[in-house]
Each structure stands twice: as structure tokens, then as C-alpha cells.
Amino acid sequence: MNYEIDPRWLLVEDGFVLREHEVESLFAVGNGATGTRGSLEEGSDFSAPATFVAGVFFHPEPPGAVPELITFPNWAGMKVWVNGSMLSMKEGGVLEHRRILDLKHAILHREWRQSDPNGRITRFRSLRLASLADRRLLLQQVFLTAENYCLSLTIESSIELEPGLEMPADWKHESRVECPNLLPLTLRLPEGKVAAEFCVASQVLPMEKHRVERRVEVQPRRLVESYRIQAAAGAECEFRRFVSVSRVKDNEYAPRAVAHARAAVSAGISPALSAHKSEWQARWQAADVLVDGDEPLQKALRFAAYHLISAGNPEDSYSSIAARALTGHAYKGHVFWDTEIYMLPFFIATHPATARALLEYRYHTLPAAREKACKAGYRGAMYAWESADTGEEVTPAVAITPMGEALPVRNGEMEVHITADIAYGIWQYWKATGDDSFLLNFGAEIILEAARFWAGRGSLEADGLYHIRHVIGPDEYHEDVDDNAFTNLMAGWNLRRAAEIANLLENRWSDRWSDLRDQLHLTASEVSLWPTLADVMATGFNSESLLFEQFSGYFSKEQIDLRKFEPRSASVDVILGHERVQQTNIVKQADVLMAIYLLWEELRPEIRKANFLYYEPRTAHGSSLSPSIHALLAARLGEMELAQRYLQQSEEIDLSNNMGNAAGGVHAGAIGGLWQAAVFGFAGLQLCSETVTLSPNLLPHWRRLSFPLQWRNHDLYISIQHEALKVKAAGTDSIKILLANGPALHASPDRTYVSVRKQDGWADWQEN
């Protein structure tokens, strides 16, 4: 149970605090298939333990009710009785207690020494993990020591079913297996479909030194396994638990959990730990961003990468990453635009296989997107604002505000920009990876169907412009607006890329184009219309001010100075009220500025700057997604004081809970945005089809910013200092790297190059 001493790799919680729900989110362990909150094994009055299996949703009655990710049994929970008294921090005195999340090895440790009212001291040490090497395997190891008394110990663990799951009628029969310490269970949904396999195998070691009695008790919706152990004073008792858990897709049930768990027990815990650590070592080599000179940011970036890696699964293209990943109940496990815009870039740059799986999920849900478009009266694909397992729209119809007010939720109907966001993610993945097979088999069809939707969602009006009315943009403080700039700019981008892809397919992969053209009933006139509509898209751009009006009529809204509300402990929409804030110019989050970032190369520098300076002071950051994009843009534009302020705000969203809602799970989009702020903002990285571009702008107190990068089958390592930039490339071919205000580099494989900053730019690259 050793862990790294370097505090930059550790998240430590000393003692026990009332913010337990928040701590449980931060200390969650996961592997993209399963996630478990970092709850105390014995629980407490403040605990909310939960295990989630990616893609397993409960669809409640009546029809139209919002599905939610099912809470699976708390496999890591246990009660311990010492000489007849329950081991509890409420009884006696806590001599020592801490939880330690080892980010480097993705293992949650716990150290606890407790004195009971009679002065008997018990030491409790544990670890748990969700294996990254074997995504069906969960592990727990507990060491119990009676320091100053003879031990009579009872360990009780249970499998309890939460609402949404049912035990099968024949589950008793299924529990009768040859190996007595295996407890298999098929967990079913109310309609009888198998949801998941679940098998728990427990051991008490060393058996030869203790007298051990095992008992299994069956109760309604609960199965209890207990061990009674007698041990001498000072003896250490080890309890191990191996759990096999996996989703059963489309009720295709083929029992495998028993064999899998039995094999894990037979192999032992050491090989499983070793394989898990090895897999994490490889992922860190491809993902660890180093910031020399900023320890809080260093820990925040590792925390971000840890939870992103823990959330993605390259082996599963039928589920995606939810807004709070697999760490909490917030948003019921639903998938938003957060995945493609905020999380996907991390995987594109560090683990393209996971990025591809996330995008294939959108292909598997394409039928639902087509159905949604059809029901709304449009052709093509209209993706759900909130998506679950099927891709159907699952946005709730009503939301309750912090003031208890019931508000209708219109995002599922009006926040349509997600369709273009998904197309954008596909294009970025293809540009950075050159994965033609994905484009041909999955991506092109989505982009074409998305463009078809946009060609029908708006209308060409008397002013000669194409207007998209009745929408909600990223700024959700303003609903049912016309010509939201972000939505229209992204729709125009989507229309142009679709026409480009159609031309590319026709000229390069004519057979595939012929198949798609026939399948989708595409005509040459329809495709040729797309860039025409993009050219006359109403974007609200003013050539004199260089500003995009966020939506039609935005500039005439009541002007509010946000500084008058500082410091504030509540969001502006709570302070002013839902109706009032809609009448103001207050922006919830990056809206026009998000378009500036995503369409960076399509906009002149003076346009980027003008819009940033205008919208930055008007943005209230009512979403966790906002600070990171402002930090990124400020860094690119050289506004370094603002960049530092927003970067700190972004890194504290979970670690300091500055949004006040980390109890519902970590903010997966926000931590993806933090990574982008560092790599795409301060390093100025851009991934193009032919080149990698760097435009560094470090904070004054940073000594170095370094990170690995995967681009088109090349492994790069980039290290940036204020006065020098170093690039090491590995691969089979040379790679072109562009440095802002400096020369281009054609880097040969397995060589390192350095460029030195001069007063008017960067010097020629020198091989190092």
C-alpha cells in the first residue's frame, strides 16, 4: 500500500468533514466502464455512495419521464464489528484518518486508526481501484489490525439493489456455484431486460493464522456476506474483494462474470495491481502536462487528466462521457455538447482510440437524431441536447430553480447548436488523426445529415440573409432568440464542411460517395445549396465595430455592470431572477467568444480581439464551462492578467468547489476545458491537417510548460520556456511544425530541435 511521496500526484483529505458528498466526487475511481464514488467503506450520515456502469439507464414510467443512470450496488461498502462493537468514527476517538487519491496509479487509499470507548485501538487501511487494464474488474484490499487487544472481528458486506434494478426470480439458483466465495448476480431492469452482470468474490487472508467462519444471508433486494474472524493481539487480517461487472447490451446476456471473477481470484491481487499501474503509466506518458512554477495548477491539471482518463473507454462505442462522468448523480448521467467541445480534444491529442469511440457513439445514436428532426419537421439529423443510451431527447421538461420556482426547459427544442458541435468534433478528429476509415464509415454521414438539418432549420428571408430563429445559444440566460451568432456561425461552418466532404468523397472515394448519395438521396443541387446558404448566413457581424451581435436585439438589452455584484456568492440569474436576467446584456458563459475560439483561423486578429474585449466584462460565468475558454482566449490574445485570473478560476471549480455543486460529480467539461486552456491557450497549440502550430504565451512565474502530443501517428513532446522552445518528434516521417512569428520546422523522427526567442520573433530551429 505504498504511494508516491510527491504531493503533486496526491489528493489528500485529512479528517472527516461535512462536505462528504463533494469529497466522494473528487475521490471517485473509474475506468470508463464503471465508476465508484470515494465513499467511506462503512458509510456515514453524510455519505452518498454510488457505483455507475456506463450506458445503463433506467427509463421510468410514464413514457416521457427522464431516464437516469442507474445506481449499482456499493461493492466497496462494509461494516466492521470489533469484539461486538461496530467500528465507527462516532464511537470513541479518531486517532488518525485520511483518504489519499494517488493520481499517478489511480488508486484510492485510506488510513484510519480508531480508539473505542474502552481504549482498544484498531487500525484500518484500504485501497480500491477500477482496473484500467481489465475494465470489468474492480478491486478492494483492506487490512485490519488490533493493536492492543485480541481480535474478534466480523466483516459484513452486502449487495443492495437501488431503485431501477431488480433481482431475477431464479437468482438463488444462480448463486449456487462451485466456489463458495463467489456471489454472482444478474441485475435486471423492471421490464425484465438484463442490465449487467455482477459477481463478487471475497477472501480473508492469511487463512492459516485465523479462525474464519463465512455466512451468506438472503434478504429481499439484499444479499449479505459476512466473515467472523478470531485473531491474536497485534495480528493483521487482510480482506480482499474482486468484483466483475459489465453492461449487457441489448439484453444479449451471456454469463461470464463467474469465470472472470474466479480467474481474478486465482491470479491474485498483485498481477492485477501491476497491470493496472502499467496501463496508467502508459496513459500518463501520453497525457501528463507539466507546469514548472505553479504547483496548484500542476495538481489541477493532473486531477483533470485523471478524471478524463477514468471516464473514457476506447472499448465501448455505445456509451459516451456524461457531464459529470461516472462520479455523481447530477444531470442523471446525460451527455451534452460538453463531450465533443470540451472533452474530445484531450482524447484526440492523447488517446485517439478513445476519441473515436466517443464519436462512434454519436453514429450509433444517429437514427434517434434523424427521428427527432423528422418529428420537428426537418430533414437530416437533429441531435438531442441531452442524450442517454438511445440518443433520444431526454432533456427534462421542467427545472426547479434554487428559489423553488418551476421553470419550463426549452433546451431540448431550441439549443440546437449541438448538431454542429458534433460535426465540428468529427472534423477536428479527422484532421488531427487522418483516420480515413472513420470518416468514410461514420463521420461523413453525420456531417452530411447535420448539414441537411441546417439547410432546413432556417429560412432565406426578404433581406437576402439566411435566418435561424427561435434558438438558445450557449448563453442560456437568453431563451428563444433569433440568429444567435454562435449557432449561426457553427451552422454555416457545418454547411461548408459538408459540401467540402461531398466533393472530397466524390473525387477520392467515389464508391463510398455513390453509396452515401444513394442511401441519403442526396442531389447535386442540394449539396451545392449548402455553401450558398452559409455565405448569406445572418451572423450579426458589424464591419465597423468588428463585433458579432450575440443575437438579434442583444445590443438593445439593459446594460448591467457586473462589477456592482462583486463579490457574490450566488449566480446572477439567482440574484436577479430568471425573467429579469433575460432582459439584460449579462451573458451566462462564452457564446460569441466560444465561436471566436472554435473558428479562430477563419477570423481576422482584430475581430478576435474586439469581441473578446467587448464580451469578457459582460460574462457572468454562470456555467463551469466558461472560465477555461476565457483563460484560453486571454492567453492567445496576450491579456495575461485576465488569463491568469480565469485560469485560477477554472482550476478551482472542483478542487475548491467554487461553483458550489461538486457534490453532484466532477465537472468533466470544465476539466477538459482546463486542459485546453493550458495546451491550446498558453502553448497556443493548433492541430491542422498538414501542420502543428504553436504560439506560446506563458505566465511570468512559469518556468516551463511541457506536454506530450499525438498527431497523425506521430508522438511529439513539446517543452516551452520563456526564451526557448524544444520539440522532440517520433514517428516514421518528418513532421512540419509552425511557430508563430518564427520559422517552420520539418522535424525528423527521433530528433530534438530548439528555437530561441528573439526580440522580433523566434530564431531558426537548431538540432539539439
Cα 276–Cα 281–Cα 283 angle in degrees, nearest 5 = 95
Q: CA-to-CA distance for 256 and 278, rounded, in angstroms? A: 25
The CA distance from 582 to 571, in Å, is 14
C-alpha cell of residue 519: 442511401
Our measurement of the distance from residue 204's CA atom to the centroid of its chain's CA atoms, rounded to an integer in Å, reads 36
The single-letter DSSP state of residue 763 is P
C-alpha cell at 410: 426549452
Q: What is the DSSP letter of 342?
A: I
* The three three-digit cell numbers of residue 1, written as one number: 500500500
Of 311, 310, 289, 309, give the one whose Cα is nearest residue 299.
289
Rg value, the chain, Cα: 27
Q: Give the integer Cα–Cα distance in Å for 18 and 20.
A: 5
SS3 608: helix
14: which strand partners? 98
Q: Measured between alpha carbons, how far is 426 from 441 in angstroms, rounded to an integer?
A: 12
The runs of H, that is alpha helices, within 143-268 are: 171-175, 257-267
Nearest 5 degrees, angle CA 116-CA 119-CA 122? 60
The SS3 of residue 451 is helix
Q: How many CB atoms lie within 10 A of CB 274?
A: 11
The beta-strand segments (E) located in 629-722 are 686-687, 692-694, 704-711, 714-720
CA 613 to chain centre: 30
- What's the start-to-end Cα distance of the chain, in Å? 41
Here the cell at position 589 is 458563459
Distance CA 40, CA 238 (A): 18
Task: Cell numbers for 596, please give them.
Answer: 471566436
- Of the candidates 177, 135, 188, 205, the one whose C-alpha atom is nearest the C-alpha of residue 262 is 177
96 assigned to active site: no
Active-site hit among 340, 393, 445, 476? 476
SS3 state of residue 757: strand
How far apart are alpha carbons 450 and 55 in whole angstroms? 24
Nearest CA-CA partner of 707 in 88, 379, 288, 228: 288
DSSP, residue by residue, 541-553: B-TTT-PBPSSTT
Q: 573 — phi, psi (to 5°)?
A: -70, -25
Q: By three-state DSSP, how is residue 269 classified? A: helix
Give residues with Cβ within 8 angstroms of 758, minimum separation 6. none
Question: Alpha-carbon distance 608 to 603, whole Å?
Answer: 7
Retrieve residue 90's grid coordinates.
462516532
d(CA 417, CA 402): 27
Positive or negative: CA dihedral 408, 411, 412, 414: positive
3-state secondary structure of 680: helix
DSSP state for residue 380 in the 8-state scheme: S
Name the residue type at position 437: S
The three-point CA angle 320-378-426 to 5° equals 35
CB of 238 within 8 A of CB of 143?
Answer: yes
Q: Would strands 735-739 and 692-694 be described as parallel, antiparallel, or unpaired?
A: parallel
Per the listing, cell 463551469 goes with: 624
User: Where in the sequence numbering do the catalytic residues fall?
Assistant: 476
